[in-house]
Amino acid sequence: MRRHTDYENMVAAYDGLTPAERRELDAHLAECAACAADLAAYRQMDGEIRSARALKASAGLRVRFSEAISGATAAIPAAQVARPAIHEPVIRKPKRQRAPWTWSRALVPVGFLLLFALAIGLSLPRGNGGRSADVVVRPVAAPPNQAEIVKLRFACDTASAFSNIGEWSKVIIAFEEANPDIDVVIDAPLTGTDATSYQKAFEDMAERDDVFCAIPSVSDWQRGLVANLGPYIANDPEFNPDDFYTGLWRPSRDGEVLSVPTYFRPLLMKYNPELFDRAGLPYPQPGWTWDDFLNAAKALTVREGGEVTQWGYFETTAGTLTVRLRSDLGAGLNSLPDYATAANTLRWVEKLYVDEPAAPAEPMRRSLADGKFNMQPFINMLNDGKIAMSNIDMRSDREESRHLAPYPDSGYGILSSYFSDLVMSGKTAHPDEAWRLLSYLSRHLPDGEVPARRSLAEKASFWQRLDEPSAAAYRYALDHLSAQLGAPLPDGYEHYQKAAVAVALGEKTVEQALADLDAQVTLRGGRTAAAAGVVDAAKSAQAETPAPAQTVITETATATPRAADDVATLEFHCESLLAYDGLYQVIAAFESENRDVKIHYLPVSVPGTDEASYQAGMAETAKKADVFCAMPGLTELQRGIATDLAPYIAADASFQPDDFYPGALRTLAENGATLSVPTYILPTFISYDPKAFDAAGLPYPEPGWTWDDFLTTAVKLTQREGVNVARWGFYEMGGAVFTGRLHAGWSMDAQTPPDYAEVERILRWYEAMYARDRGAAIPAALSVASGERISATPLERLLKAGKAAMWNDGGANFMSEAGAQTAAYPEPNQGAFFGRTGELVMSGQTQHPDLAWRWISYLSQHLPDEGIPARRSLAENASFWNGLDESSKAAYRYTLDHIAPVNVRFGEEYQHYLDAVIAVAKGEKTVEQALADLDAQVKLRRGS
Amino acid sequence: MITQALEGDEAALLVAQLFDHYSDAIFAYLFRLVGNRDVAEELAQETFLRAHSARQRLSQALNQRAWLYRVATNAAFDHLRRGRRFAWLPWSRVDELHAPQPDVAEAANQRDALEKAFQALPIDYRAPLLLHSYDGLSVREVADALGISEGAVKMRLRRAREMFRRSYNPEKQNGGLP
């Protein structure tokens, strides 16, 4: 027999049900209008969901994947850049097919081959797929002269970053047709996410590829990783370096040309003209000043009750700050500002980010710390038109509500971000051919981004995507690009930058930052010049550790580095903690404090639906996971599935087992073993509607009230209309409270059952509550369990209709908005029968028991602030208290202080007691009959 | 070299076929889970690389699609646990201005209400809804993909739908019962 909730769940999954389930649900739908309406709504929802954008992976995915498998090193993720430098060729463009290779192309001829084989009545031998694919890729005719063909390798992250690797393939095919003596192999580009991995990727590509995309430095040239292109350019009449936009052509100070630009993006900001109109402000104009910017940002920031509801400026990185600081360096970008200028700029920073901020500093903090930042509120504000200026795209329902504008005049022109340049490896064996490829690519870049060459940009399609104000901003930018892009910044600039960041983040006052800066570097026309030795020391220290302003980075960077093989990975399987968003931060914090451990978290539960399958599931999980969430028993300890944690607890001074609420730390009485460590607890409460109590003139339930108080109150609160019940004194769907009275007769360790007299009292209570005076309805769960057909009205629906004065909704807070309050369980009790979530178990088979314990101990002490932690120290400061009224707080406090040992195992005879009270509650047996039967079954203990 | 990868290796051919059939779908699913194109591509690649390395077992799997989605889901959760929904730029060796814009620009571009509604769902509700309603997986397949019970799938779908209904069409939210 299904509960109605089951049908509701099935409706939500209608199209995914088995035919048998669907037939059953169809029968229910014929009788249940609410479910039928839900199904109709869900159908419509699915139609809308299926209309979502069809997203396509870039061709680069195909390239990288094929590269990886053809390297016969199957499971190498792309993110792992530290792969062997030499790879087998990946893609031979099918010259005679004139199109980029795809899996589909490879497989179509396989299909033809199969059809052909069928047509001629042959059966294709097994394993022939490879040979058939061979036919595709191998040139149909032999190359003219293998000895004359030079093979070049090319890799470019710019090419793969914009989903246009296919277009690049076309360019390369065209190049090969124009240069029949050269065969180009496209490699997957290697990339890095930080300076170290980037450098490694760079070096690997220099070894592997003849031409690749990167941003080289002079030292890369000095180390022979890249070639100086100057001599080739001088001898190539087609190349024309004057064609590049000002500033994008960046020879080194000594004139070497180490790279050739591909695309770029002028640095423009976006603004919402509607907000400017509303505030009566002029739009940002070319030539506006940084003070104009600050004033506009201030005027456009709106606060309501101390909370910012509209930001004047928002950006995701410290980009604006960078532009602002550069403007102090002069047109040559070659010297630091003077003291007064620096002071002025730092004050500007303070006004923008700190003093009644007009821009939030938090994204900058996160970008510097590589941390997690909840962007969603800002995304929502962008979409809702609540951000006036930004460095990221503003999208709202109205496309015209976003325009582009240049940043305030920086004195040196518009800065630009640019993509990886084309470079030639300093190690290529075929420099002339490599130059021909590089030159050709530079002049035939696929259309897409903004090309660095004027001749290409003028006919590029990106203009068509711009509205008129944005196109005007672009034109201005292209005509005013800084001539100093990529120029080396003056010595000490990083200190200036960090001083500004420290001010922006509120970590230093302007005066502190200036004083520190003045001690670190020599400001132009300097007020005081630091001794050269001090500056040098500061510089070398800078190379090792970030500035103090970047607190988070400092902690990370100064932790003891360890060799990779010193790092152990712990498998942590726990589904129940997945819902706790803060878990990821806890893992990250643990890993940063414990550099020798990585946590590999899988949100999976121990499989199993009954005791036997659950035990089997735990055994399986223990083989894979070092730590997992489960409810093991002594059996699991004896079978080596779980580890006794008692010795670890005893040896861990930080753990403090007394910190747990009584009974929350699950202890087996038999041998003192501790099989698991709790994280959160779910105490059970009774909820009540104070209005019903007021109307009946009854006092609210007080902590410490008794089961008899509960009975009397429930009976008084029950309202009848004839034979029907208009309102139940107490109602629950499950059976926690129902069984609570029975459990209250046991000893607190659940080991000693009630004696004869107590059993009789218990049975009479059930008789009065459920069968005779009927203060409470038989829990639906018990009816369902006994196979009865019941009217399984969902509890929340019943509560909305005002049909219960007290209830137990298992903590769902169905009536939280209706002023429902929380009461503790009646006394005596077996504690509140709380559930637990995320009970941490150490596998008996872990290879890293000490590390596994370290993680268990840490997690139990650093739980995300959600729910009710099992530790008193965490619970006392937890936010769950915030939503509670005073009486509910009292109920919580009482309950948490009165939790009995959790390991409530009533023994094998328990079921007979439960059967007896159910029979009495349902009126199937008198108290006397039930007593006699029970006595015959379990031989009741005769008390005094 | 693809010929080498496939030669005499029917299982590798199967992976190639799976790639052709499902790479876009897996990528789209991952993109909606992690909200970042580059990361989604990395995870999609990882998914198919795992498929390739396990191709002999995969070829015997009854439901290869569910298998792929499970691997993809695990890869995504594994990524998300690191808390790097946005790949913030380090202050790079060259200059932060020279690096591409952060991914958040892409997130901001997800302007249409559907995508926003997806993103508003907690990940453990978003995943089953995407698999069931967008990718058309059965309850059994979703259960396999997510490593949870069929009952949990149905329950999560119902809750996901309730949340989706609220976030996708706020004016229809009545706060009442279904």
pLDDT tens-digit map of B107-125: 333 345 777 778 777 778 8
Contact A61 B41 (CB under 8 A): yes
Comparing alpha-carbon positions, the chain B residue that sits nearest to A66 is B2
- Higher-scoring residue by pLDDT: A493, A85: A493
Report the pLDDT averaged over residues A816-843.
Answer: 74
- Higher-scoring residue by pLDDT: A494, A412: A494
Sign of the CA dihedral A794, A796, A801, A804? positive
Lowest mean pLDDT among A111-115, A489-493, A699-703, A787-791: A111-115
Highest mean pLDDT among A132-146, A473-487, B149-163: B149-163
How far apart, in whole angstroms, are the C-alpha atoms of residue A283 and residue A276?
6
CA distances from B167 to A43, A374, A610, A744, B164 (A): 17, 18, 37, 45, 5
Comparing alpha-carbon positions, the chain A residue that sits nearest to B86 is A372
Residue A351: the pLDDT is 93
pLDDT one-digit tens code per residue, B120-154? 777 788 899 999 998 888 998 898 888 888 888 99
Residue at A397: amino acid letter: D
Q: Which two tokens stand for residue A162?
A: 């914009």
A316, A364, A609: which to substitute to probe chain B, counting the most B Cβ within 10 Å? A316
Q: How far is A368 from chain B (nearest CA, A)?
A: 6
Residues in A closer than 8 angstroms to B142, CB to CB, are 16
Q: How confident is residue B74, by pLDDT bands cut at 50, 70 and 90? A: confident
Residues in B closer than 8 angstroms to A796, CB to CB, are 177
Q: How confident is residue A646, by pLDDT bands cut at 50, 70 and 90? A: confident
Contact B114 A51 (CB under 8 A): yes
How far apart, in whole angstroms, are the C-alpha atoms of residue A493 and residue A523?
10
CB-closest option in A57, A78, A317 to B27: A57
Residue at B56: amino acid letter: Q
Residues in A closer than 8 angstroms to B17, CB to CB, are 103, 107
Residue A675 has pLDDT above 70, yes or no: yes
Contact B27 A587 (CB under 8 A): no
Contact A16 B141 (CB under 8 A): yes
Residues in B closer than 8 angstroms to A609, CB to CB, are 149
CA distances from A828 to A458, A662, A915 (A): 85, 16, 21
Contact B104 A375 (CB under 8 A): yes
Comparing alpha-carbon positions, the chain B residue that sits nearest to A7 is B154
How far apart, in whole angstroms, are the C-alpha atoms of residue B19 and residue B21?
5
For B:54-73, CB contacts with A below 8 A are: none
Q: Is A54 on the interface with B (CB under 8 A)?
A: yes
The Cβ of residue A401 has, within 10 Å, a number of other Cβ atoms equal to 15
How far apart, in whole angstroms, are the C-alpha atoms of residue A355 and residue A847?
54
Residue A579: the pLDDT is 53
The Cβ of residue A561 has, within 10 Å, a number of other Cβ atoms equal to 9
Residue A539: the pLDDT is 37
How far apart, in whole angstroms, are the C-alpha atoms of residue B126 and residue B119?
8
User: Which pairs with CB-CB distance under 8 Å and at least 24 residues apart come from A872-878?
Assistant: A872/A659, A872/A660, A872/A661, A872/A896, A873/A659, A875/A661
Residue B100: the pLDDT is 28
Q: How confident is residue A822, by pLDDT bands cut at 50, 70 and 90? A: confident
Q: Are A60 and A160 in contact (CB under 8 A)?
A: yes
Q: Which two tokens stand for residue B171?
A: 């004016």
Q: Is B144 on the interface with A (CB under 8 A)?
A: no
For A:161-180, CB contacts with B below 8 A are: 161
Residues in B closer than 8 angstroms to A68, CB to CB, are 45, 49, 52
Helices (H), A317-361: 319-326, 339-353
Residue A245: the pLDDT is 85
Residue A763: the pLDDT is 96
- Higher-scoring residue by pLDDT: A364, A226: A226
For B:10-39, CB contacts with A below 8 A are: 10, 12-13, 15-17, 19-20, 23-24, 27-28, 31-32, 37-38
Lowest mean pLDDT among A135-139, A158-162, A618-622, A760-764: A135-139
Q: Is A610 on the interface with B (CB under 8 A)?
A: no
Give A414-443 as a DSSP string: B-EEE-PEEEEBTT-S-HHHHHHHHHHHHH
Lowest mean pLDDT among A288-297, A923-932, B56-65: B56-65
How far apart, in whole angstroms, are the C-alpha atoms of residue A915 and residue A908?
13
Q: How confident is residue B94, by pLDDT bands cut at 50, 70 and 90? A: very low
CB-closest option in B45, B136, B176 to A78: B45
DSSP state for residue A881 in the 8-state scheme: G
Size of interface A-B (CB pairs under 8 A): 312
Q: Which two tokens stand for residue A691?
A: 């209005």
Q: How buried is A828 (Cβ within 10 angstroms: 0-12 exposed, 13-18 middle, 19+ buried)?
A: middle
Residue B97 has pLDDT above 60, yes or no: no
Residue A373 has pLDDT above 80, yes or no: no
The sheet with strand A686-688 has its strands ordered as A719-721, A724-732, A804-808, A686-688, A821-823
B58, B104, B115, B119: which to substitute to probe chain A, counting the most A Cβ within 10 Å? B104
pTM reported for the whole predicted model: 0.39
pLDDT one-digit tens code per residue, A505-527? 888 999 899 888 888 877 755 44
A42, A49, A390: which to substitute to probe chain B, counting the most B Cβ within 10 Å? A49
* Peptide bond just before A337 cis, omega within 30 deg: no
How far apart, in whole angstroms, are the C-alpha atoms of residue A181 and residue A538?
54
How far apart, in whole angstroms, are the C-alpha atoms of residue A345 and residue A326?
11
Q: How confident is residue A312, by pLDDT bands cut at 50, 70 and 90? A: very high
A585: Cβ contacts below 8 Å, ≥ 6 apart: A372, A864, B83
Contact B129 A49 (CB under 8 A): yes
ipTM score: 0.77
